[in-house]
């Protein structure tokens, strides 16, 4: 099950760490967020090192739909209501800056980067569209409601963000990692007294960035109740029709569309990890109904960390862990948010004030309607009978027949049929 990006990219390999070493900043996790942090810190003259437990981009990054946009569903109405107009403006500015930085970097990189409009649609509730439009007008973003899509879905309305982008993330990564200090197959077991203990040696550092998708230190930060994980699926069919844009349903379980060369990528089938959902069957039924002459060329799935309030956690890992920082909870928008994280964390580490740090702070209030739902799922997972238990916190695992994996409905860890770890926060195979 190779993604289109994996099948068409050649990522360089790096040696494993051999013995002890030291650096100013250690970045843990070799997905796009960690790599961009390393790239940004190096560009600022900061000595940094990145370690990855497996191969770089072997986790979530290779399975994205690779949309670069500041339009993250109908989020601006949500942010305005919870955090105010000023913070909604900051969220827009931070992400628009990220989109522009990608455009600047990709001018000299062959990574299938194309400027495209992004369109978020709603199938059944015009009021949602209207509220989002009003929120955008209040923060100074000019757009309007549209009523038709170039895909076979009826909608109540849609909102367009112009001058967004799409690319091949692995081709992009293959270029920017060339001069970075990276060790693969180097697993961090714990951080103690400014030293990261790995399976290959110890690394002393002044600061640490945890960019492991789901944070691996369970006793700090309460991320196991601040987030849950969500799976979604993609098929690529050989259709030449150019959509001239990227299209995303505002609903978590809706569908998305974008072109990649001569292919049409259809995303959807979403569900909370460990629960039932449409998976590939939903997408294949849709393609068979509306594109019966076309053939599936690729299919893949991904997993996203969903936060309590739809805003990523970027900043201090916890109040009890000085000099340890985190980037997680990207809510399906990892491409843009990874770039935001690299800017915010680099500023924090060098002691520079960042205008967006408070908005993304992991220490913000946890009091949201999602919190008791997350706690409830954890309790149910702990008491549910099962012979397969997750080594993370002991929840009952569920069989995922679509992907033939054992999945944890509490926190999203996943394992192969043989018990091999696929996705964290678990750090060990099944026993």
pLDDT 10s digits, 351-381: 999 999 999 999 999 989 999 988 888 888 8
406-428 burial, b if ≥16 CB within 10 A, otherwise e?
bbbbbbbbbbeeeeebbbbbbbe
* Model confidence band, residue 227 (pLDDT cutoffs 50, 70, 90): very high
pLDDT digits (tens, 9 = 90+) for 137-161: 999 999 999 999 999 999 999 999 9
Average pLDDT over every residue of 95-108: 97
Looking at 152-161, 173-182, 218-227, which range is the least confident one? 218-227
* Model confidence band, residue 424 (pLDDT cutoffs 50, 70, 90): confident
| Percent of the chain's residues with pLDDT above 90 | 83
pLDDT of 66: 97
Helix (H) or strand (E) holding 358: helix 357-360
pLDDT of 239 strictly over 80: no
- The domains located in the chain, with CATH, are 4-64+171-225+310-360 (3.50.50.60), 112-165+228-304 (3.30.9.10), 370-420 (2.102.10.10)
- Separation between Cα atoms, residue 276 and residue 391, nearest integer Å: 22
| Percent of the chain's residues with pLDDT above 70 | 100
For the chain, give the longest Cα–Cα distance. 61
- Separation between Cα atoms, residue 301 and residue 6, nearest integer Å: 13
pLDDT digits (tens, 9 = 90+) for 30-74: 999 999 999 999 999 999 999 999 999 999 999 999 999 999 999
pLDDT of 345: 98
Of 89, 148, 79, the C-alpha closest to 119 is 148
Q: Are 123 and 254 in contact (CB under 8 A)?
A: yes
Q: Are 246 and 119 in contact (CB under 8 A)?
A: yes
Residue 313 is classified by DSSP as: E
- Separation between Cα atoms, residue 2 and residue 8, nearest integer Å: 10
pTM: 0.95
* Model confidence band, residue 410 (pLDDT cutoffs 50, 70, 90): confident
Half-sphere CA count of 324, side-chain side, radius 13 A: 21
pLDDT of 383: 81
Handedness of CA 65, 69, 70, 76 (dihedral sign): negative
Half-sphere CA count of 350, side-chain side, radius 13 A: 17
* DSSP β-ladder status, 246-249 and 114-122: parallel
What 3-state DSSP class applies to 397? coil
- Strand blocks (E) in 169-312: 182-183, 188-192, 195-198, 202-210, 227-237, 246-249, 256-260, 263-272, 296-307
Average pLDDT over every residue of 378-397: 85
Q: Are 336 and 71 in contact (CB under 8 A)?
A: no
The three-state DSSP-derived secondary structure of 159-197 is: EEEEEEEECCHHHHHHHHCCCCCEECCCCEEEEECCEEE
Average pLDDT over every residue of 300-308: 95
Looking at 130-134, 229-233, 305-309, 376-380, which range is the least confident one? 376-380
- Separation between Cα atoms, residue 176 and residue 153, nearest integer Å: 38
pLDDT of 103: 98
Residue 145 is classified by DSSP as: E
Kindly report the backbone phi and psi dihedral angles of residue 367, in degrees, each rounded to the nearest multiple of 5, phi listed first: -80, 90
Q: Are 429 and 420 in contact (CB under 8 A)?
A: yes
pLDDT of 428 strictly over 90: no
- Separation between Cα atoms, residue 154 and residue 241, nearest integer Å: 19
115 Cβ contact partners less than 8 Å away, ≥ 6 residues apart: 103, 163, 164, 165
């Amino acid at each position: 099950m190779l993604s289109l990006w994996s099948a068409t990219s050649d990522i360089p390999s790096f040696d494993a760490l051999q013995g002890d070493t030291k650096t100013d900043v250690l970045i843990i996790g070799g997905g796009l967020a960690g790599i961009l942090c390393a790239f940004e810190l190096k560009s600022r003259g900061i000595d940094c090192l990145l370690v990855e437990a497996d191969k770089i981009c072997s986790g979530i990054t290779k399975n994205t739909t690779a949309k670069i946009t500041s339009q993250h569903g109908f989020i601006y109405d949500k942010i305005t209501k919870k955090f105010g107009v000023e913070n909604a403006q900051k969220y827009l500015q931070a992400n628009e800056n990220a989109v522009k930085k990608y455009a600047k970097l990709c001018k000299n990189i062959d990574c299938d980067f194309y400027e495209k409009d992004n369109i978020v649609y709603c199938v059944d509730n015009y009021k949602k569209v209207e509220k989002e439009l009003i929120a955008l007008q209040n923060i100074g973003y000019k757009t309007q409601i549209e009523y038709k899509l170039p895909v076979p879905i009826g909608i109540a309305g849609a909102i367009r963000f112009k001058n967004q982008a799409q690319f091949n993330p692995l081709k992009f990564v293959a270029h920017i990692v060339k001069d970075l200090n990276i060790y693969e197959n180097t697993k961090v077991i714990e951080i103690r007294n400014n030293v990261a203990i790995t399976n290959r040696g110890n690394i002393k550092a002044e600061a640490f960035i945890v960019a492991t998708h789901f944070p691996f230190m369970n006793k700090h930060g309460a991320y196991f109740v601040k987030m849950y994980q969500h799976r979604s699926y993609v098929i690529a069919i050989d259709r030449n029709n150019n959509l001239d844009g990227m299209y995303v349903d505002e609903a978590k379980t809706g569908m998305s569309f974008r072109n990649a060369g001569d292919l049409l990528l259809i995303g959807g089938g979403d569900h909370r990890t460990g629960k039932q959902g449409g998976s590939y069957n939903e997408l294949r039924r849709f393609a068979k109904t509306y594109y019966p002459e076309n053939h599936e060329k690729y299919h893949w799935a991904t997993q996203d960390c969903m936060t309590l309030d739809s805003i990523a956690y970027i900043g201090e890992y916890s109040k009890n862990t000085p000099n340890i920082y985190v980037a997680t909870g990207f809510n399906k928008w990892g491409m843009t948010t990874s770039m935001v994280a690299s800017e915010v964390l680099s500023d924090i580490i060098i002691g520079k004030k960042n205008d967006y740090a408070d908005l993304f702070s992991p220490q913000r209030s946890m009091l949201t309607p999602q919190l008791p739902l997350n706690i409830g799922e954890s309790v149910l997972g702990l008491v549910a009978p099962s012979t397969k238990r997750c080594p993370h916190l002991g929840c009952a695992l569920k069989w995922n027949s679509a992907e033939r994996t054992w999945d944890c409905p509490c926190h999203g860890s996943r394992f192969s049929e043989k018990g091999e770890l696929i996705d964290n926060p678990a750090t060990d195979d099944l026993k």
